Amino acid sequence: MPRKTAEELAPRTASLYRADHQKDVVNRLRRIEGQIRGLIEMIHEGRSCEEVALQMSAARKAMDKAFYRMMACTVIEAVYDAESEGKAIEEVEKSARLLERFG
């Protein structure tokens, strides 16, 4: 069986990376969803504002991590899909602006 070239392997690798990345982000979001449900329950139970705020902070940090993981996927896709080195740089700069705006 002939050995595959890097060009033949790259699309499969990129799509596998994207699928793994998305699975990781979805798992993170599900954990965050559980944290949010827990926060609602804490409020209904009358837990202290400090306790609720602490858990809110943890949920916010988890959401930030999920966001940065998704942005990493965005950058990788942009570079992979770029038709030239100049276009790749342009796409990375676009992603950097998104991070500055939302990160």
Contact 79, 66 (CB under 8 A): no
| Maximum Cα interatomic distance, the chain, rounded to a whole number of Å | 67
pLDDT at 9: 47
- Residue burial 12-31, b: 16+ Cβ < 10 Å; e: rest: eeeeeeeeebeeebeebeee
CA distance 73 to 20: 10
pLDDT at 45: 98
Domains of the chain by range and CATH?
Answer: 18-102 (1.20.58.1000)
Report the chain (103 residues): mean pLDDT per 10 consecutive residues.
53 73 94 98 97 97 93 83 84 86 80
CA distance 98 to 5: 34
Return all residues near 100 (Cβ < 8 A) that are at least 6 apart.
Answer: none
pLDDT at 5: 52
